[in-house]
Amino acid sequence: EPEVTQTPSHQVTQMGQEVILRCVPISNHLYFYWYRQILGQKVEFLVSFYNNEISEKSEIFDDQFSVERPDGSNFTLKIRSTKLEDSAMYFCASAYPGELFFGEGSRLTVL
């Protein structure tokens, strides 16, 4: 069964460092998303991406964040200069459109 895969599963970084989280969406899907879940809190929408551009972003998705789909398969989330409050689980999702399929998540720990 097709699935969304995310790497790394867990990353520990120092505050101020750049982090790239990678996602491989389901191959025929056209819509891509990043969500964030801070420990013990709800899952929050960060950004949606369609037709090689951001279609919507939340207030959380500030200038420190960027997304790209560099090679037609990977979908990446970059955090330019990490802060302590960026520590969270980051979920990638893709859709054909329709139902969103989520990856297992990447846990980011900022020290």
If the CB atoms of residues 70 and 98 are measured against other proteins, the closer one turns out to be 98
Q: Which is nearer to other proteins, 13 or 31 (CB)?
A: 31
C-alpha span between 24 and 22 (Å, rounded): 7
Q: Nearest distance from residue 86's CB to other proteins, in Å?
A: 19
Contact of 31 with 97, CB cutoff 8 Å: yes
**How remote is the C-alpha of 97 from its chain's centroid?**
18
Nearer to other proteins, 42 or 84 (CB): 42
Minimum distance, C-beta of residue 16 to other proteins, in the bound complex (Å):
27
> Closest separation between CB of residue 13 and other proteins, Å?
19
Among the listed residues 88, 53, 85, 86, the one whose alpha carbon sits nearest the alpha carbon of residue 67? 53
Q: Which of 4, 9, 23 is nearest to 95 (CA)?
A: 4
25 vs 103, beta carbon nearer other proteins: 103
Question: Which residues here bind other proteins, judged by CB under 8 A?
Answer: 31, 33, 35, 41-45, 48, 56, 91, 93, 95, 97-100, 102-105
Among 7, 2, 30, 1, which Cα is nearest to 104's?
Answer: 7
Q: Report in angstroms how near the CB of residue 79 gets to other proteins at its nearest.
A: 20
